[in-house]
């Protein structure tokens, strides 16, 4: 499967391009690759879809911010993740972005709207948003979730048409079945033609003569559906993933909306996330850090043993490479950073005090670097004087 092109490259714009310039760039591409202008050209049709997908993301400030931060993975483009940021068909694009061309996609440039079900408006169901809580283990390894979602689905009794038995229709007399009304007005510049959605049938092109009693003529009913989704490894708090076509079903045979999955991270009892790295605060006693000790460090996959060398200084950070979180775009894994802290007891008995007081006068327990270390530091200082 070919990798998706960068959305900015598709529309030939930069990250700093204004929303209006992005809109103009998309309009130019849509006209260039419009299916009616390139009949039978599958490559042009794919480029038409590609431009629509890019515009759908870059024209939305929230989606654009996620894309700039996470790339295609932030839009649900991770391979095998079960997400899609694009459009499944041409009708979906016409329904979503027809207003860019004055409410009628075919009304600009002289080509028609044959991909809009004969010109009829295709309704689109609303998107659904759900929040999914993930443990750190699920974030690191990826996970498959089953979500119970209450949503509008197509009525089985009328096959989503809204008409009794799915066949009780008559052609709209106002638009003669096209779903659109064309008006011609004489102006100083000559005749101007405008096209708008038929107000009589709301763009359906037909009228229901006998409504379905189960859905009241809407073609949808509310039910609970179990949806399986695969969440890729490396997602983060607040990231939104898009499951295409799993939102509410559009009325009367319309297009399905999308399911927007918002990621929430559950706090780990010992590990702290910092980007793709994990942080663990290790507390070591004064005798152990002075003499050296082997400590057990928790990781997502279980505990590992790490040797704390004799004389390790407080706040030193030990790096366990590859023990962090995978990059959501597949660029390797982060590290586990172990920050060493020295635990100082608040109370001592008489014997403990006597031992420490004796050590106070020992040269090894004097503060500051040793003579050898002083010589090294002095040499370094001379280099920069």
Every domain of the chain and the residues it spans: 1-71+86-122, 272-370
Residue 129 has pLDDT above 80, yes or no: yes
| H or E segment to which residue 151 belongs | strand 143-154
Instruction: Give pLDDT tens digits for 145-187.
Output: 999 999 999 999 888 888 887 777 888 888 888 888 888 877 6
Residue 382 has pLDDT above 60, yes or no: no
Quick one: fold of 1-71+86-122? Answer: Helix Hairpins (1.10.287)
pLDDT of residue 5: 87
Mean pLDDT across 374-378: 55
CB atoms within 10 A of CB 384: 5
User: How many other CB atoms are found less than 10 A from the CB of residue 326?
Assistant: 20
Q: What is the distance of C-alpha 30 from the center of its chain?
A: 25
Q: Collapse the DSSP code of 282 into the 3-class scheme (helix H, G, I; strand E, B; otherwise coil) and give the result.
A: strand
Q: Band of the pLDDT at 108, cuts 50, 70, 90?
A: very low
Contact predicate 297/338, CB 8 Å: yes
Average pLDDT, the chain: 81
pLDDT number for residue 134: 96
Most confident of 26-40, 178-192, 368-382: 26-40
Are the beta carbons of 317 and 279 closer than 8 angstroms? no
Q: What is each CA distance from 169 to 8, 40, 154, 159, in whole angstroms? A: 45, 32, 18, 14
The hierarchical CATH code for the domain 272-370 is 2.60.260.20
Q: What is the pLDDT of residues 235-258, one digit of tens each?
A: 999 998 988 889 999 887 788 899
Structure confidence at residue 330 (pLDDT): 82
Question: What length does the chain have?
Answer: 385
The predicted model gives 80-96 an average pLDDT of 52
Give pLDDT, residue 41: 83
163: burial class by Cβ within 10 Å (0-12, 13-18, 19+)? buried
pTM score of the predicted model: 0.59
Predicted local distance difference test score (pLDDT) of residue 87? 58
Gap between the Cα atoms of 225 and 138, Å rounded: 23
**Region 343-349 average pLDDT:** 89
Identify the band that residue 106 occupies on the pLDDT scale cut at 50, 70 and 90.
Answer: very low
Please provide the DSSP assignment of 323-342 as one string. -S-B-TTSS-B--EEEEEEE
| Measured distance CA(57)–CA(64) in Å, rounded | 6
CA angle at 114 for the pair 33 and 13, rounded to the nearest 5°: 25
Lowest mean pLDDT among 102-106, 234-238, 273-277: 102-106
Cα 244 vs. chain centroid, distance in angstroms? 12
Task: List, for residues 132-143, the tens digit of each pLDDT value.
Answer: 999 999 999 999
Q: Return the percentage of the chain with pLDDT > 70, whole number.
A: 80
Q: What is the band of 119 on the pLDDT scale with cuts at 50, 70, 90?
A: very low
More confident position, 311 or 104: 311
Q: Answer yes or no: is pLDDT of 80 > 50.
A: no
Confidence of residue 34 (pLDDT cuts 50, 70, 90): confident
% of the chain beyond a pLDDT of 90: 36
Chain center to CA of 383: 51
For 105, the 3-state DSSP assignment is helix
> What is the pLDDT at residue 62?
82
What pLDDT score does 66 carry? Answer: 80
Residue of 41 and 79 predicted with greater confidence = 41
Burial of 104-121, coded b for 16+ CB within 10 Å and e otherwise, reads bbbbeeebebebbbebbb
State the Cα–Cα distance between residues 312 and 318, nearest whole angstrom: 10
| 8-state DSSP, 88 | S
pLDDT of res. 141: 93
Q: Are 84 and 76 in contact (CB under 8 A)?
A: yes
Residue at token pair 């790295």? 277
What average pLDDT does the segment 340-366 reach? Answer: 87
Give Cβ neighbours of residue 93 (< 8 Å, ≥ 6 apart).
48, 49, 52, 87
Q: Which of these, 201, 245, 203, 217, lies nearest to 82 by C-alpha position?
A: 245
What is the rounded average pLDDT of the residues 259-269? 94
pLDDT(84) > 50: no
Residue with tokens 């689109």: 124
Helix (H) or strand (E) holding 281: strand 277-285
Pairing of strands 169-171, 277-285: unpaired
């Amino acid at each position: 499967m070919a990798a998706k092109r960068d959305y900015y490259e598709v529309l030939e714009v930069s990250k700093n391009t204004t929303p209006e310039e992005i809109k103009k760039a998309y309009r130019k591409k849509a006209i260039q690759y419009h299916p009616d202008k390139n009949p039978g050209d599958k490559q042009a049709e794919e480029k038409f879809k590609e431009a629509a997908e890019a515009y759908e993301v870059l024209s939305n400030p929230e989606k654009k911010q996620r894309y700039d931060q996470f790339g295609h993975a932030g839009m649900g483009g991770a391979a095998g993740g079960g997400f899609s940021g694009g459009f499944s068909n041409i009708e979906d694009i016409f329904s979503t972005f027809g207003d860019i061309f004055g409410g009628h996609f075919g009304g600009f440039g002289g080509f028609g709207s044959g991909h809009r079900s004969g010109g009829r408006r295709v309704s689109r169901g609303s998107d659904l948003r759900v929040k999914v809580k993930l443990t750190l283990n699920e974030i690191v390894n990826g996970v498959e979730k089953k979500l119970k979602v209450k949503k509008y689905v197509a009525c089985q009794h009328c096959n989503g048409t809204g008409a009794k038995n799915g066949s009780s229709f008559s052609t709209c007399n106002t638009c003669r079945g096209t779903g659109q009304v064309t008006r011609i007005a004489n102006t100083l510049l000559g005749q101007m033609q405008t096209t708008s959605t038929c107000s009589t049938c709301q763009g359906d092109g037909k009228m229901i003569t006998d409504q379905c009693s189960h859905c009241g003529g809407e073609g949808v009913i509310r039910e609970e559906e179990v949806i399986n989704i695969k969440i890729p490894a490396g997602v983060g708090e607040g990231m939104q993933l898009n499951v295409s076509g799993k939102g509410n079903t559009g009325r009367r045979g319309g297009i399905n909306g999308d399911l927007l999955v918002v990621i929430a991270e559950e706090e780990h009892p010992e590990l702290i996330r910092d980007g793709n790295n994990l942080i663990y605060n290790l507390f070591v006693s004064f005798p152990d850090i002075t003499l050296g000790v082997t400590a057990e460090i928790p990781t997502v996959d279980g505990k590992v043993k790490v040797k704390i060398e004799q004389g390790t200084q407080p706040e030193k950070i030990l790096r366990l490479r590859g023990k962090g979180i995978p990059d959501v775009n597949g660029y390797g894994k982060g590290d586990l950073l172990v920050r060493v802290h020295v635990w100082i007891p608040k109370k001592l008995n008489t014997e403990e005090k006597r031992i420490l007081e004796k050590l106070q006068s020992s040269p090894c327990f004097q503060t500051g670097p040793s003579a050898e270390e002083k010589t090294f530091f002095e040499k370094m200082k001379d280099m920069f004087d």
